[in-house]
Amino acid sequence: MDYGHSERPSEAAILPTAIKILVAGGFGAGKTTLVGAVSETRPLRTEEVLTESGVGIDDISGVEAKRTTTVAMDFGRITISDDLVLYLFGTPGQDRFWFVWDELALGAIGAVVLADTRRLADCFPSIDYFEERDTPFLVAVNCFEGARQYRLDEVQAALNLDPEVPVLLCDARRRESAKEVLISLVEHALKLREARRRVG
């Protein structure tokens, strides 16, 4: 990772390694909050253009006549070193924006699925999505006030998760907690990689 500090090429020449992590979950589950809590940049929101019909921009014909919608996604950055940068993308909360997800998921090392225990079923689509694509993920149970407290194994069972999928509690508003979630995810992704390498 370290290319040596004595003969460093000009700043522009250093190409960092980029690590991409997704933050998914249902509507209002805390995605924006989590990304904002750990990102070094002020919370940035990036918008993807959509046509009214919800298809990709490639399908636009007669552009002048059409209006476009935008869909917001959260974006955060954590610079680990000059040559290692972590990018966080909060996925749009809506299932009908799947094609945005596909772009976001490309090359991602893993995903955090935020679960709100008041609406646990809201994170099913995210879980299905990452299971289908073999993307390493974990479930972070966001502790909202007034929500009934579930045990982690209850959540695991309710979500019908593979036993190896980590489930942990978090408070997306707290930086330390959000950091812990990301560390657990990277550890999990690394473990899966090692296991896959041994098998294949």
Partner 1 sequence: MAVKGKSADHQWVDDHAGPVVRPYAVTGGRARPVTGTFDLISLVTATRRDVSPEPGLGPEHLAIVGLCQRMQSVAEIAAHLDLPVGTVRVLLGDLVARNLVQIREPHRAVGVSDHSIFEAVIHGLRAL
Ligand X SMILES: Nc1nc2c(ncn2[C@@H]2O[C@H](COP(=O)(O)OP(=O)(O)OP(=O)(O)O)[C@@H](O)[C@H]2O)c(=O)[nH]1
Q: By the criterion CB under 8 A, which residues form the site for partner 1?
A: 1, 11-12, 15-20, 27, 38, 41, 44-50, 52, 57-58, 60, 63-64, 66-72, 75, 77-78, 80-81, 84-87, 89, 93-94, 103-104, 106-107, 109, 179, 182-183, 186-187, 189-190, 193-194, 197
In whole angstroms, what is the distance from residue 16 CA to residue 70 CA? 30
Helices (H), the chain: 31-38, 98-105, 124-132, 152-158, 175-199
Q: Is the dihedral of CA 126, 128, 129, 134 positive or negative?
A: positive
If you search the block for the tokens 């990102």, which residue do you land on?
A: 39
170/179 Cα distance (integer angstroms): 10
Q: Applying CB under 6 A, which of residues 19, 21, 32, 88 lies at the interface with ligand X?
A: 32
Site string for Mg ion, 22-51 (x = CB under 5 A): ---------xx-------------------
Among Mg ion, partner 1, ligand X, none, residue 173 binds (CB under 5-8 Å by kind)? ligand X
CB of 51 to ligand X, least distance (A): 21
